Amino acid sequence: MNDNGQLEYCAEDVFAHVVNPQKTVTLSKVFENINERNREKIENTGYQIKTHNLKKSDRLYLQTDGFFKQINKQNNEMFGYERTEKLITELGKYDLKENKDIVEKKYLEWKQNTEQIDDYLILGIRC
């Protein structure tokens, strides 16, 4: 994020969401961080560098694909993008300190006794 509150990002394999009290915006998938050393490499791959203006009331949430790809074997269903987006939107209503407990509770309740098949991470950043 630059000094003007503008986030630069590039799309690939990890979803990013900007959450504020009014709405949740899905930024698409984040490829890697963008800096002057790798800008040319990213542009040469065909990926587009995109921007999003952030406000002080925004939170940026990033998560790995292991989160939404987790399968609940009892109902043979992935946690999925829709359930993840709903959870991320809900997190925006709570203090960041409470987010970990909320994610853990929802995820473990859903996963039940199913073996974890991948690592998972949700990162929340106050803008």
**Per-residue pLDDT tens digits of the chain, which is 127 residues long:** 777 888 887 756 667 889 988 888 888 655 455 566 666 766 676 666 778 899 988 999 988 888 888 888 888 898 888 888 899 999 988 998 999 999 999 988 888 888 888 888 888 999 8
pTM to 2 decimal places: 0.77
State the Cα–Cα distance between residues 8 and 1, nearest whole angstrom: 6
| Domain range list for the chain | 6-126
SS (H, E, C) 57-121: CCEEEEECHHHHHCEECCCCEECCHHHHHHHHHHHCCCCHHHHHHHHHHHHHHHHCCCCCCCCCC
